[in-house]
Structure 1
Amino acid sequence: MSEDVATATPPPGPARAGRGNRKLDQWIAFWVVPFFFTLFGVVFVPLSSMMPPRSPSSSSTQVVAFMQSHDLLLACVILTLSFGLAPLTNAVYLLQVKRMSVSPVFRYSIMVGSMVGAIVGMLFPMFCFGLGAFRPGYSPSTLAMLYDFGYLAYIGSLGCFCVMWMAFGLAIILDEHGILPKWLGYYTVWQYLTELMAAPVWIARSGPFGWNGVMTFWFAMVLYVPWQIIVYVCIFRAIRDQPETELECQPRAYR
């Protein structure tokens, strides 16, 4: 009998370590989120001056001076080294959606939407602006085309995120487990609807619906930035309150 008990009892050291670190992987991914977005903001705002977006009606001289800046190349180097962190930030949301009492189609929609959005909204602008600064001597018309392509991809691709955040908001609203608060679902739906205002950037070259306009950029940012912070806080609470019995990384049973 004593031998059976000794055999069934797991070694105390690894068991204690497992119980204390079962959420470590989630917390590592979670804290990558503010690091990535901070780095992303530094690259696009003070370093490269890509954001806030420059005017679609900038003169040829202004476009050439911007597109031939060496800061754009440095920004591309940093993005190249860091955009691999984006999947970790999305995984934090996906894991909580997986706990919800909704169809997996919501989770897959979020995953695919984030993939498409990252390609169009981050990689395309990086290649366009970086290509313009890579080799001196491009004609002003070529630089103007890359300039338009970069900004239209960045601002005009918000529709990619509409499906993504629509699935996220509906998953929260329909969830019966209360993983995230219902009001966050309605806030998410309202936030993604404002991103539809980016559609006119393909038509308007100035005014409130240009890619740097009050409606297409600034109004969306006023809603998006607080929403992103609120989602982050709610995800923190969801991870903190998640029962260990729901964790998929359960320790291996000893025999």
Structure 2
Amino acid sequence: MVPAFFNIFGVVFVPLSWMMPPRSPSAPEPQIVAFMQSHNLLIACAILTLFFGFAAVGNAVYLMQIKRMSVSPVFRYALMVGSITGAIVGMLFPMFCFGLGAFRPGYRPSILVMLYDFGYLAYIGSLGCFCIMWMSFALAIILDQNNVLPKWLGYYTIWQYVTELMAAPVWIARSGPFAWNGLMTFWFAMVLYVPWQIIVYVCIYRSIKNQPEDELENAWLHQLPSASDVRPKATA
């Protein structure tokens, strides 16, 4: 389910709506209006409405693996709050901005430009919301003594979330490497993020497969005798 969500998420944002790769913040007004009035944006929003709840399943996978680690529950709660904040700002806000622009024809160009800016600034500029989430995940892996996940994944995660700090200049730069479609702000982060996202779920999948049954919260159910094992006592 988790890989399926990210595949759907990618299809919606890239070939369906062409919201990504991000369009230029200095695009001329006619191009912005044409993009914001595209019917594909409405289809993309409808699909996201049906499937963005799957993100909660993915976050739960992270939380359950951190729960197995020999670290404070603070790491688990920080990841949970960070993921909630990031999903609201980085997914719901852009969906409503782009969808609202396409929902009703006849909006003034100035309103569509504002929604365009709001949508992209929320999507790209919200990467910092995930820093606490990934920092908690990385430190939990590194400090864990149970070796639930490999240590190198923790260090890789640190590098991944450091690149997300580069999203801050998108509120200042309208062109160049630090604009929301710039080389440093977007493309450099994607070079690290895309392979990291694949690797982290492979590692978590292996961790789940290797998890001992006695660590499961419902392990006691497997220890109960089955009906065939229960024999009535012989009567005299």
List aligned pairs for 1:106-125, cutoff 5 A. Answer: 106-125=75-94
Q: Secondary structure at the match of 1:205?
A: coil
The Cα of 1:190 is off from its aligned counterpart by 1.1
Look up the match of 2:178: 209
2:119 aligned with 1:167, yes or no?
no
2:148 aligned with 1:179, yes or no?
yes
Q: Give CA deviations for 1:117-138 in whole Å, capped at 9, x if unaligned.
A: 0000000000000000000000
Look up the match of 1:99: 68
RMSD: 0.9
- Give the residue type in structure 2 aligned to 1:202: W
Q: Give CA deviations for 1:48-80 in whole Å, capped at 9, x if unaligned.
A: 000000000000000000000000000000000
Q: Which runs of 5+ in 1 are unaligned?
A: 1-31
The Cα of 1:33 is off from its aligned counterpart by 1.0
Look up the match of 2:123: 154
- Give the residue type in structure 1 aligned to 2:181: N
Match of 1:44 among 13, 26, 44: 13
TM-score normalised according to structure 1 size: 0.87
Separation in structure 2 between the aligned mates of residue 194 and residue 173 of structure 1, nearest angstrom = 19
Separation in structure 1 between the aligned mates of residue 210 and residue 116 of structure 2, nearest angstrom = 46
Q: Give CA deviations for 1:126-171 in whole Å, capped at 9, x if unaligned.
A: 0000000000000000000000000000000001000000000000
Q: Which runs of 5+ in 2 are unaligned?
A: 231-236
Q: Which structure would you say has the larger RCO, counting Cα contacts within 8 Å and 6 or more residues apart? A: 1
Separation in structure 2 between the aligned mates of residue 60 and residue 194 of structure 1, nearest angstrom = 30
- Give the residue type in structure 1 aligned to 2:65: Q
TM-score normalised according to structure 2 size: 0.94
2:109 aligned with 1:140, yes or no?
yes
Separation in structure 1 between the aligned mates of residue 176 and residue 75 of structure 2, nearest angstrom = 36
Q: Secondary structure at the match of 1:100?
A: coil
List aligned pairs for 1:1-255, cutoff 5 A. Answer: 32-252=1-221, 253-254=224-225
Give the aligned length: 224
Separation in structure 2 between the aligned mates of residue 243 and residue 132 of structure 1, nearest angstrom = 50
The Cα of 1:251 is off from its aligned counterpart by 4.5
Separation in structure 2 between the aligned mates of residue 138 and residue 163 of structure 1, nearest angstrom = 38
Separation in structure 1 between the aligned mates of residue 120 and residue 143 of structure 2, nearest angstrom = 36
Look up the match of 1:29: none
The Cα of 1:250 is off from its aligned counterpart by 2.1
